[in-house]
Amino acid sequence: MKSWNDWRATYDQMSYADQKQFYNDAEEQYPVQIHFAGIVTNTLIQLQAPLKIMEIGGWKGHLAAAVLAKNPAIQCWDNYEICENCIPKTVCLDPRYRCIVPADFVWNLDLPPYDLVVSTHTFEHLQAAEIDAIITRHPAHTYLIEMPHSASWNNYNGCHICPLTRDELNAMFERHGYRLQWQERDVRYFVQEDVK
């Protein structure tokens, strides 16, 4: 497996197959990746309207398992996960849940429409242009994002790369017609009134 700094240095040259292999290798060395704040879980549990949820980078389905066990209003939860090793190791056995290894990066794919996109501790693994492309390609009514920020991830012990500040991420969503409904630390809840 590449070092974290080598991964950052070669990120822009890596193909989808390269990234899949990197994350499969990472899963073998670091299999436990359960990162989401309690407020994310509680927010999703309290949603009442019938919802179709798209999760980006949900690893082995821990968030989905916690939420689906307590919220019958959710119709489906599709976790788009680049790490193939996660599929047979999923912890979410709810029939509304699917863990999908897509054919390409999600920002390159036409997918069915979703009401809410959730991503906890995934956007920091992407470049800003890729996050922008996700929002463009998948204009859900709501985005629930948990993302740590740093001016530089150099020498960070993990595969974080995104340089966006909190304000820059907020501004990106605003350019796409979203308003920030609330935020708490690294968690943000964006709502778009007029979905295309």
**pLDDT in the model for residue 196:** 46
Question: How many independent structural domains does the chain possess?
Answer: 1
**pLDDT in the model for residue 189:** 95
**pLDDT in the model for residue 195:** 47
DSSP string, 135-151: HHH---SEEEEE----S
**pLDDT in the model for residue 139:** 93
User: Mean pLDDT per 10-residue run, the chain (196 residues)?
Assistant: 92 96 90 79 88 95 96 96 94 97 96 96 95 97 94 90 95 97 94 70
Q: Which domain holds residue 55?
A: 4-192
**pLDDT in the model for residue 194:** 67
Which of helix, strand or coil describes residue 33?
coil
CATH code of residue 156 = 3.40.50.150
Q: For the chain, list the strands marked E by DSSP.
A: 51-56, 74-80, 97-100, 116-120, 142-146, 178-184, 187-192
Question: Tokens standing for 183?
Answer: 């935020």
